[in-house]
Amino acid sequence: MARAVVTGGNGFVGSHLVDRLLRRGDEVVVFDSKGARPKPAPSWTEVEYVRGSVSSADQLSEAITSGVDVVYHLAAVVGVDRYLESPLDVIDVNFTGTRNVLDRAQRVGAKVVFASTSEVFGKNPDVPWKEDADRILGTTSANRWSYSSSKALAEHLTFGYMRERGLNASIVRYFNLYGPRQRPAFLISRSVHRALRGEPPIVYDEGSQTRSFTYIDDAVDATIEIGTRSEADGECFNVGSSDEVTIREAVDLVVELTGGRVGLTSIDTRDRFGDSYQDLDRRIPDAGKILSLLGWKSTTSLREGVARTIEWAEESPWWLEQQENTTD
């Protein structure tokens, strides 16, 4: 049994991670800026809850205390809609907040698992990407790249704390996670949300772009392996499925599994968003490192994962009533 802190524990990945840690028998502290426990976690009676922002070192010190074994740092400003609209918040939370977490964890001797993103690779056309692949980004005048840059700088911070201050840490780069509880602002969640509400899912630029979609349960399995295995200490890992599918294929699958009652809406991103939105043609991981070191690989097929997501959504009217954001 370990004592774990999950920053952003109310969020999509965080809430699933908390569920799994509790089932393992770990002591869990949730650190989140939201005051109430999330709707999908009614069994969190044994969780210690600390309200606060990672931007506040003082508030973090109430959660990351002596005796904490591992900090899963998931708190971040995530989603294309948010980093097009609020790049300053993205940079402040993702960069400054991460520094606060690393500093506090180093003081109390806790390990950190920092949740990064496939976005750090930017527009590198040489896929699948290995962990040490080059970063190729667009202009700094486009808000689109504030998220990628903030997460990359946070990775530099993490490596710096490991090398200069002796912090024990690992980095996990998630590739297109989806599943129950995700807000309807991402491709799979938004498509399920719209289809079940009788609205046509959206495809950007004809949907020829390709992605590797990773079901949340698989990602949580990987995250806990990274947080608990000594082989992961000091390492960075891609966490994602290696199955490459087009955006159009993924949306068509959602339509099929929800009964095929609605068609599709196609949006030209240049007409809708101008130069502020810059999409990527392909985003595929090389997940060989985590397989060789930890024995992990994504095992949930897109069809199975989407079916589970639809089943959960049909039983969650509060989620279907949410307003979506159609930016991502």
Regarding beta strands 210-211 and 245-246, do their DSSP bridges make them parallel or antiparallel, or are they unpaired?
antiparallel
Instruction: Count the domains in the chain.
Output: 1
Instruction: Give the domain extent around 142.
Output: 3-174+215-240+284-298
Residue 129, in any domain of the structure:
yes
Residue 210, in any domain of the structure:
no
Residue 196, in any domain of the structure:
no
Residue 184, in any domain of the structure:
no
Report the side by side order of strands in the sheet with 245-246.
245-246, 210-211, 282-283
- Give alpha helix (H) positions in 166-215: 187-196
Q: What is the pLDDT of residue 128?
A: 96
145 or 287, higher pLDDT: 287
Catalytic residues: 147
When pLDDT is cut at 50, 70 and 90, the band that residue 41 belongs to is low
Residue type, 227: G
Q: What is the mean pLDDT of residues 143-164?
A: 94
Chain length of the chain: 328
When pLDDT is cut at 50, 70 and 90, the band that residue 326 belongs to is very low
CA distance 141 to 327: 18
Residue 316, in any domain of the structure:
no
Residue 47, in any domain of the structure:
yes
Q: Tokens 């002591």 correspond to what residue?
A: 27
CB 147 within 8 A of CB 83: yes
pLDDT at 270 over 90: no
Q: What is the mean pLDDT of residues 85-98?
A: 86
pLDDT at 327 over 50: no
pLDDT > 70 fraction of the chain, expressed in percent and rounded = 91
Residue type, 154: A
Q: What is the mean pLDDT of residues 67-94?
A: 83
247 or 39, higher pLDDT: 247
Q: Is the pTM of this model over 0.85?
A: yes
Residue 82, in any domain of the structure:
yes
Computed over every residue of the chain, the mean pLDDT equals 91
Residue type, 256: E
Q: What is the mean pLDDT of residues 288-317?
A: 97
> What's the CATH number where 109 sits?
3.40.50.720
Residue 275, in any domain of the structure:
no
CB 34 within 8 A of CB 8: no
